[in-house]
Amino acid sequence: MTAHPALDKLTAIDSLLSEEERDLATTVRSFADDKLRPYLADWFEAGEIPAREIAQQLGALGVLGMHLDGYECAGASATMYGLACQELEAADSGLRSLMSVQGSLAMTAIHHFGSEEQKQEWLPRMAAGEALGCFGLTEPDFGSDPAGMRTRAKRDGDDWVINGSKMWITNGTVADVAVVWAQTDDKIRGFVVPTDTKGFTATEVKHKLSLRASKTAGLSFEDMRLPGSAVLPEVSGLRGPLTCLSEARFGIIFGAMGAARDCLETALEYAGSRIIYDKPLAGFQLTQAKLADMTLELMKGQLLALHIGRQKDAGTLQPAQVSVGKLNNCREAIKIARECRTILAANGITLDYPVLRHANNLESVMTYEGTSEVHQLIVGQALTGEAAFR
């Protein structure tokens, strides 16, 4: 799971994985090295990414919706899904976001709460990367408090008519199908919306300083008419979107450590080859102190991710434990990225090295799928029994 021999030997995380898990991690890492890394700097600088081509490659790799059963999904373990997230985010958070939104949000919503017709229509194509999905929950004025959403769906005979808007929607401009959540007269409901539906508009978000190798959109719905069969029949209320968010948060626990690991590997290589005052930068006490402290946090974060993965596979994982993982691993990953930048000094601010790209991306990863503050309050509620959100 690590390319730097000394780091690999010290952390020894691979020894805790099965042969199948190690093989999967190696396969995804090799794919990222061969098919993605050579282009990441250009994609980030241009703010463009060939999302459909990458989705088809990820589908061929078998990682889209890989933790789901049936409908041509791989049915892999949660831990294996987490390891795939770690390897993709070691390349770029935006690429892991593409995979997460496809599998953990859009596909999970349809798989868990959709009708058999919805599952048959969309899941096999999405698993293959032939159809892309997005997840319309966050709104311009409602992110951490999704219950306040203003998008509304009203009955009109057998149809539904939706008006409203969503914001910060990954894959929004390239999606073939959107899972849209809206207020109704009877709780929040989810809808499976083909993006060529009249009244559906997706507009790309420009001028981003983070997740530039990712498609981000605003969605708007103007008298968007859907048949009654578009509703997700098996869920109402916030349980639906929050279940999907918990799946995506789980992937982030592993993914953030991938970004951190890539930064640390880069800093180790750089410090070993950079000569200053007639010896390698790695030979100075302050540099070694930084590297040692970052390795501690990386190893703790990887162990936490693996522990949570094992709990999820055992069916014992609680939502608050997912919050512990996301809170810790995002927090430590961005600290590692920033500290690695100091080791690279001026070289660290260029796209010749990945560390500041990772740091910029992690600014978004810390915020989406629940801000750090939200996860602090979830953990606090689990500890005290008191809800402190208001």
Q: Which one of 89, 247, 339, 369 is the catalytic residue?
A: 369
Q: Are 325 and 365 within 8 A, CB to CB?
A: no
Q: What is the rounded CA–CA span in Å between residue 238 and residue 380? A: 21
Q: What is the rounded CA–CA span in Å between residue 190 and residue 132? A: 17
3-class DSSP state of 84: helix
CA atoms lying within 13 Å on the CB side of residue 200 = 22
Question: In sequence order, what are the residues at sequence separation of 6 or more whose Cβ sits closer than 8 angstroms to the Cβ of residue 382?
Answer: 318, 320, 323
What phi and psi, each to the nearest 5 degrees, are found at residue 27? Answer: -65, -45
What are the C-alpha distances in Å from 92 to residues 40, 59, 140, 298, 354?
8, 18, 26, 17, 9
Longest distance between any two alpha carbons in the chain, whole Å: 80
Question: Residue 2 gets which letter from DSSP?
Answer: -
Q: Are 234 and 112 within 8 A, CB to CB?
A: yes
> Residue 134: beta bridge partners?
178
Active-site annotation holds for 369: yes
3-class DSSP state of 358: helix
What are the C-alpha distances in Å from 102 to residues 26, 158, 210?
22, 29, 20
Burial (CB count within 10 angstroms: exposed 0-12, middle 13-18, buried 19+), residue 46: exposed
Q: What is the rounded CA–CA span in Å between residue 284 and residue 289? A: 9
Task: Outline where DSSP puts E strands in 209-331.
Answer: 216-226, 275-276, 279-280
Buried b (16+ CB within 10 A) or exposed e, 156-195: eeeebbbbbbbbbbbbbbbbbbbbbbbbbeeebbbbbbeb
- The residues carrying an active-site annotation are 369
